[in-house]
Amino acid sequence: MKIDTKVYEEKMSKSISSLEYEFGSINAGRASAAALDKISVEYFGSSMPINQIAGISVPDPRTLLITPWDASALKEIEKAILASDLGINPQNDGKAIRLAFPQPTEERRKELAKKAEKLGEDCKVAIRNVRRDANDKIKDMKKNGEMTEDEQKASEKLIQDVTDKFTKLADATVEAKKKEILSI
């Protein structure tokens, strides 16, 4: 009886999805609502994501327009953006906030590319952790007599093949993001 790889493939796939989500917050001079995903606003005593208290639109490729549903939240949204690591000064016109994404410098692009590489490495570590869990399960199954030594070797090879597939996918995702960041 060989191990079922579907569970482990799903976990590895979630690591890739997480990487892609993280890449959404890396802006390369293009406006993206995902850049605001990690910013929370104090609103009526609780911390809420901006997209739950305001409409976010992209009127042009370099601008985000944040229109709060409650005008009293405008100052809090502005404060949260200034306190974040976004690095963009919000322009408040009394009704909405505009975020103008500047064209990043060559140095900033290289920093962003390094950040993308680090996120890619973190993703590959998560994938390898899933492989380790699978191999531990395989060893336990062998120890408990649920599989033969040949089945153990075959299962370990299956898990390694799945790991290699997802590691290559992580590398390809990182390369695509780096290409996007470094292109002017």
Dump pLDDT digits (tens) for 2-34.
Answer: 788 899 999 999 999 999 888 877 766 677 777
C-alpha 65, offset from chain centre: 22
Dump pLDDT digits (tens) for 88-125.
Answer: 888 888 889 898 888 878 888 888 899 999 999 999 99
Domains, in order of start, for the chain: 6-23+105-182 (1.10.132.20), 29-100 (3.30.1360.40)
3-state class (DSSP) for residue 41: strand
The pLDDT score that the predictor gives to residue 121 is 96
List for the chain the helix, strand, coil content (%; round to 5).
Answer: 60, 15, 25
The answer, yes or no, to whether residue 52 has pLDDT greater than 90, is: no
∠ Cα 32 104 58 (to 5°)? 20
> Residue 165's closest CA among 115, 124, 122?
124
CA 171 to CA 44: how far, in whole Å?
Answer: 43
The pLDDT score that the predictor gives to residue 184 is 60
The pLDDT score that the predictor gives to residue 124 is 96
pTM above 0.75, yes or no: no
More confident call, 149 vs 24: 149
